[in-house]
Amino acid sequence: MNVLLIGAGGREHALAWKLSQSPSLGKLYAAPGSDAVAQHAERLAAGAADAPALAALCREKGISLVVIGPEDPLAAGVADALRAAGIAVFGPGQAAARLESSKAFAKEFMGRHRVPTARWQTHTDHAKARAALSDFSGGVVVKADGLAAGKGVRVCANRAEAEAALDDIMLKRAHGSAGASVVLEELLEGPEVSLLGFCDGERFLPLAPASDHKRLLDGDEGPNTGGMGVIAPTPHLTAEELADVEKKVVGPVLRGLRKDGLEYRGLLYIGLMMTPKGPRVLEFNCRFGDPETQALLPLLDGDLLSLCAAAADGKLPEGPLAWHGAAVTVVLASEGYPALPAIGRQITGLAEAAARPGVLVFHAGTTREEGVWKTAGGRVLAVTGVGKDLAEARQRSYAAADLIQFEGVQLRRDIGKVAARPGRPA
């Protein structure tokens, strides 16, 4: 089977690496791909959201399955257009992708189908939103409704911060039209868990639960980022808690999708906070997480391509999925990230790091010029260590990360540190 992978980031490098191991793969193509993805796939010149060009390429190259990596093409309806052209797609259509592309839509969906989530209000009027802040005395989270590359959420400790967030999002339009509506949410507390699963509309087959680390600095300090590191399986979701989440969250979500006539064939990412009152959904993503994918795919036993093809056909196997060991992924970011990342810096030590046992180096933002790898984005690399447990995975990941150098590199030193201690962290 010839397959087209859409996207260009670290997630897509991991997807290309795993897809290329499939016995049923004919040829793997990528649009637009990256220099790193090109190690596993032939790059095609088409924009990720240019559905007519992508459909034409599928016909020309005999591509029968398209795997969509990022959220923008999903929100733009690329999956619908390709399906209408008779091509199987791993990724939901535009209507179901609103679970990610509109936070207000996701909250209404959860309210309608009794999925546990933080209490909320949606506002389109700035003055009314400001007045409504007094309904959230225990702290408030202000969220731009639309897609904002993970940057549209402000966790506010007090009223002044919340007012500033509303001004920024609604008046100054810090995230453009994504801020035309806002969701105000009660502030929850507890560890966060990313539960990613293959979904065919009827079944949800979870991967190992993971914990992302969104803040830039050790100890969860500093600004929010796209994600600075991941541990999987996370100790923040025990087997009993997973069973509880399947009953209280996954079941109602699957029933809700069917009731609302939303066909979901792709990867469903459920962002959870494990509060003292039980699991609460923070967000849905309609695609693989980045950098969760770089930690999870190396643990997955078996064939990613057959899972994607089965989900696209609406025929996932009974499950459960099998995985082995544990992974710790450390992100190496550019100087100045997340505000103003410096690019074009030479990277050394990549081959030495990748040659270590149990280590995979995935590229998020790099280019290759005359055989030399250079930084080309905010998050540059994700270094994954796989081991029998988190302690071994962590040791492998950091030993490899320390072999890689570029000027101004930023990385957290505490990914997997708490979790690697015996027992369950508070």
For ligand GLY, the binding residues (CB under 6 A) are: 150, 212, 227, 285, 289-290, 292
Q: How far is the CB of 191 from ligand GLY (least distance, A)?
A: 15
The count of residues interacting with ligand AMP (CB under 6 A) is: 13
User: Which residue, 27 or 151, is less far from ligand AMP as judged by CB?
Assistant: 151
User: Which residue, 133 or 286, is less far from ligand GLY as judged by CB?
Assistant: 286
Q: How far is the CB of 288 from ligand GLY (least distance, A)?
A: 7
- Residue ranges of alpha helices (H) inside 200-346 are 239-245, 251-259, 292-296, 304-313
Per DSSP, the three-state class of 237 is: coil
Binding ligand AMP (rule: CB under 6 A), the pick from 283, 360, 365, 406 is: 283
Pair 151, 141: CB distance under 8 Å: no
The entry of ligand GLY, ligand AMP, none near residue 71 (CB within 5 to 8 angstroms by kind) is none
| 63 phi and psi angles, rounded to 5 deg | -85, 125
Q: How far is the CB of 16 from ligand GLY (least distance, A)?
A: 17
Question: Which class for 76: exposed (0-12), middle (13-18), buried (19 or more C-beta within 10 A)?
Answer: middle
Nearest residue to ligand GLY on Cβ basis: 289
User: Which residue, 379 or 394, is less far from ligand GLY as judged by CB?
Assistant: 379
Q: Report the alpha-carbon distance of residue 103 to residue 412 in Å, rounded.
A: 29
SS3 content of the chain, % helix, strand, coil (to 5): 35, 30, 40
Asked if 144 is part of the footprint of ligand AMP (rule: CB under 6 A), the reply reads no
- With both helix axes pointing from N to C terminus, report the angle between 304-313 and 10-19 in degrees, rounded to the nearest 10: 100
The entry of ligand AMP, ligand GLY, none near residue 187 (CB within 5 to 8 angstroms by kind) is ligand AMP
The entry of ligand AMP, ligand GLY, none near residue 185 (CB within 5 to 8 angstroms by kind) is ligand AMP
| 22 phi and psi angles, rounded to 5 deg | -75, 130
Binding ligand AMP (rule: CB under 6 A), the pick from 58, 165, 282, 347 is: 282
Please choose, from the candidates 240, 225, 273, 242, the residue with its C-alpha nearest in 3D space to the C-alpha of residue 410. 225
Binding ligand AMP (rule: CB under 6 A), the pick from 192, 200, 290, 292 is: 192
Q: Quick count: other Cβ atoms within 10 Å of Cβ 27?
A: 14
The entry of ligand AMP, ligand GLY, none near residue 289 (CB within 5 to 8 angstroms by kind) is ligand GLY
Q: How far is the CB of 40 from ligand GLY (least distance, A)?
A: 21
Asked if 356 is part of the footprint of ligand AMP (rule: CB under 6 A), the reply reads no
Q: Report the alpha-carbon distance of residue 412 to residue 410 in Å, rounded.
A: 7
- Residue ranges of alpha helices (H) inside 50-136 are 51-61, 71-75, 78-84, 94-101, 103-112, 126-132
The site map against ligand AMP for 251-270 (x = CB under 6 A) is --------------------
Pair 219, 283: CB distance under 8 Å: no
Nearest residue to ligand AMP on Cβ basis: 283
The entry of ligand AMP, ligand GLY, none near residue 141 (CB within 5 to 8 angstroms by kind) is ligand AMP
Strand partners, 274: 279
Point out which span in 83-91, 187-195, 200-208, 357-365 binds ligand AMP (CB under 6 A). Answer: 187-195
Q: Report the alpha-carbon distance of residue 299 to residue 358 in Å, rounded.
A: 11
Dihedral angle sign, alpha carbons of residues 243, 308, 8, 413: positive
Q: Report the alpha-carbon distance of residue 423 to residue 394 in Å, rounded.
A: 16
Q: How far is the CB of 291 from ligand AMP (least distance, A)?
A: 14
User: Which residue, 266 or 289, is less far from ligand GLY as judged by CB?
Assistant: 289
User: Which residue, 17 or 373, is less far from ligand GLY as judged by CB?
Assistant: 17
Burial 160-193 (b: 16+ CB within 10 A, else e): eebeebbebbbeeebbeebbebbbbbbebeebbb
The entry of ligand GLY, ligand AMP, none near residue 72 (CB within 5 to 8 angstroms by kind) is none
Asked if 214 is part of the footprint of ligand AMP (rule: CB under 6 A), the reply reads yes
The site map against ligand AMP for 68-87 (x = CB under 6 A) is --------------------
Interface residues toward ligand AMP, by CB under 6 A: 118, 141, 143, 153, 155, 185, 187-188, 192, 214, 271, 282-283
